Amino acid sequence: MLSFIVRRLLQTIPIILAVALLIFVMFSVIPGTFASSMGDDGRGMLDAQVMERMNKEFGLADPVYVRFGKYIAQLAQLDLGMSFRTRQPVSSVLADRMWPTLQLSFAAMMFSIVIGVPLGFIAALRPGSIIDTVSMVGAVSGLSVPKFWLGLLMMYFFALQLGWLPSFGYGDGGLRYLTLPAVALGVAPLALLARTTRAAVLEIMNADFVRTARSKGMSEWRVVQWHLARNALVIVLTTIGLQFGTVIGQAVVIEKLFAWPGLGSLLVDSVTLRDIPVVQGAILLIVMFFLLVNTLVDVLCAIIDPRIKYT
């Protein structure tokens, strides 16, 4: 088991390296520099000397291959470099922003799992019923709404009209502040999870071994309990793992709208300001997080499903 986990983790290393290379190459050709970004609010540009000096300080004056060499050498020492903007190590910048994003994406996933999976289950156990039709129409609608639009509407409705929740910000990081952005972020994965769960349960319902279970004289509830749930879980788990990636990606939009101080808004900001080391670090961190979650999912699947070899 342990060696399985280690092996799965080792397998992520090439991906992380490839991501590092890809991101580096992409952002080495981006137009504009951090120095030029300092003038974009119209308060006047930096003077040419300072700009030049800045580019030199940040190593942007070197040719691309030299920069890449330095970058890889840094990475090898687990050093992500210095942020242009904060003039602090990227790692400490990321550390500040990681927790809110984790909070938000976990909350969104919890929301979508806790509601989506049971909903899909119930829908599948009563296919064609009112609850099935309503939840699936709801699910397909949930997948079709632009996210920031939904967030904005929720903000107006729940914060302004009803006054139940604060409309924005991290506040004390508590549930009151977390709820709206997490729900806005969680609607799409909820819809998808409900659909996946329903499809998975329906598929397993028709499996031969479920017929065997019925032929044993089991009640439907027992069939679900003893035979259906675990099998459906494997499929649902895989979907959850992949959804984490989507959720973290979409968090960019939600964080910006709700002024949530996470990695997503940091990333957008850093792209806008050409704070390239932070961009690279943030993407790497997001990728690593995604890979970690999916490794965890793989391990869980391997525990549930003995057919997956982990020796």
Partner 1 sequence: MNETHGDTIMRVENLAVHFPMGGGLFGGQRRWLHAVDGVDLELKRGECLGLVGESGCGKSTLALSLLGLQAPTRGRIILDGHDVSGSAGKDRKDRARFAQMVFQDPYSSLNPRQTVRTTLEAPLRLHGVTSRSEIDDRIADVLKHVGLRTDQAERFPHEFSGGQRQRIGIARALILRPKIIILDEPVSALDVSIRAQIINLLLELKETLGLSYVMISHDLGVVEHMSDRVAVMYLGRIVETGGWETIFTNPQHPYTRALIAAIPDPFSRTTGVKITGEIPNPLNPPTGCGFHPRCPEARDICRIPPAPLLEAIAEDHLVRCRRVGEFA
Partner 2 sequence: MLKTFAIASALALTMGGIAEAQTPRKGGTIRLTAPYGSSFANLDIHTSNRAQDEIYAKAIHRTLYNWDSAANKPVLELATGVTASPDGLVYTFKLRDDAIFHHGRKMTADDIIWTFNRLMDGTKAYPGARYVRIIKGAVDVEKGQAKTISGLKKIDDTTLEITLTSKVDPGFYFHAAMTSIYPADEAVKESFNSKPIGLGPYKFLEYVPGSRLVGERWEKFYKPGKPYADKVSISIMGEAAARDVAFRNKEIDTSILGPAQYVAYQGDPALSKGLLEVAEVYTRNMGMNQNFKPFADKRVRQAINHAIDSDLIIKRLVKGKAYRATGWLPLSSPAYDKNLKPYAYDPEKAKKLLAEAGYADGFEFEWTATSNESWGIPIVEAVIPMLEKVGIKVKIKPVEGTVLSEVVSKGEYQAYIWSNTSGPDPLEALKCFHSATPQSACNYTAFKNANLDKVLDEAAASEGEKRIELLKKANAIVQEEAPVWFFNYNKAVMAYQPWLKGLQPNATELAIQYPEELWVEESSPAAK
Partner 3 sequence: MKIRANLLIGGVLFATVILAGILAPLLAHTDPVMDANLMFAEEPPGGEFWFGTDAQGRDIYSRVLYGARISLTVGIVSQLINTVIGVCLGLSAGYWGGWWDDFVNGLTNLMLAIPSLIFALAIMAILTPGLTSLLIALGLTNWSFTCRLARASALSLKSQGYVQAAKVLGYGDIRIMLTQLLPNMLGPIIVIGTLGMGGAVLAEASLSFLGLGIRPPFPSWGSMLSDARDQITTAPWISVFPGLAIFMTVLGLNLLGDGLRDILDPQSRTRRA
Contacts with partner 1, residue ranges (CB under 8 A): 7, 10-11
Burial of 78 (0-12, 13-18, 19+ CB in 10 A): exposed
Q: Which of 246, 296, 299, 305 binds partner 3 (CB under 8 A)?
A: 246
| Cα–Cα distances in angstroms (integers) from residue 285 to residues 9, 89, 91, 95, in the given order | 15, 14, 10, 10
**Of the listed pieces 157-165, 194-202, 205-213, 239-247, which binds partner 2 according to CB under 8 A?**
157-165
What SS3 class is residue 224?
A: helix
Q: Is residue 100 close enough to count as binding partner 2 by CB under 8 A?
A: yes
> What residues form DSSP beta bridges with 82?
89
How far apart (Å, rounded) are the C-alpha atoms in residues 98 and 282?
9
Q: Residue 2: which residues within 8 A CB-CB, separation 6 or more?
A: none
Please choose which of partner 2, partner 1, partner 3, none residue 7 contacts, taking the beta carbon within 5 to 8 angstroms, the exact cut-off set by kind: partner 1
Q: Is residue 146 close enough to count as binding partner 2 by CB under 8 A?
A: no
Give me the 266-285 binding string for partner 2, x by CB under 8 A, dash otherwise: x-xx--xxx-----------
* Side-chain-facing half-sphere of 141: CA atoms under 13 Å: 7
Q: Which amino acid would we find at residue 19?
A: V
Q: Which of 16, 51, 296, 300 binds partner 2 (CB under 8 A)?
A: 51
| Cα–Cα distances in angstroms (integers) from residue 113 to residues 182, 222, 307, in the given order | 12, 23, 25
| Cα–Cα distances in angstroms (integers) from residue 122 to residues 130, 206, 210, 229, 239, in the given order | 11, 16, 17, 12, 18
Q: Which of 98, 271, 299, 300 binds partner 3 (CB under 8 A)?
A: 271
11 vs 272 by CB, closer to partner 1: 11
How far apart (Å, rounded) are the C-alpha atoms in residues 115 and 244?
16
97 vs 195 by CB, closer to partner 2: 97
Q: Is residue 133 close enough to count as binding partner 2 by CB under 8 A?
A: no
Q: Which of residues 70-89 bind partner 2 (CB under 8 A)?
A: 83, 85-88
Q: Which residue's structure tokens are 């890889």?
A: 72
With CB under 8 A as the rule, give the number of residues binding partner 3.
Answer: 54
Contact by Cβ (8 Å): 129, 198 = no
Write down the least CB distance from residue 7 to partner 1, Å. Answer: 5
> How far, in whole angstroms, is CA 32 from its chain's centroid?
28
Q: Is residue 14 close enough to count as binding partner 3 by CB under 8 A?
A: yes
Please choose which of partner 2, partner 1, partner 3, none residue 71 contacts, taking the beta carbon within 5 to 8 angstroms, the exact cut-off set by kind: none
Q: Residues interacting with partner 2, by CB under 8 A? A: 31-33, 35-51, 53-54, 56-57, 83, 85-88, 93, 96-97, 100, 152, 155-156, 159-160, 163, 166-170, 255-262, 265-266, 268-269, 272-274
Q: Residues interacting with partner 3, by CB under 8 A? A: 14-15, 18-19, 22-23, 26-27, 29-31, 128, 133, 140-141, 143-149, 152, 156, 192, 195-196, 199-200, 203, 235, 238-239, 242-243, 245-246, 248-250, 252-253, 256-257, 267-268, 271-272, 279, 283, 286-287, 290-291
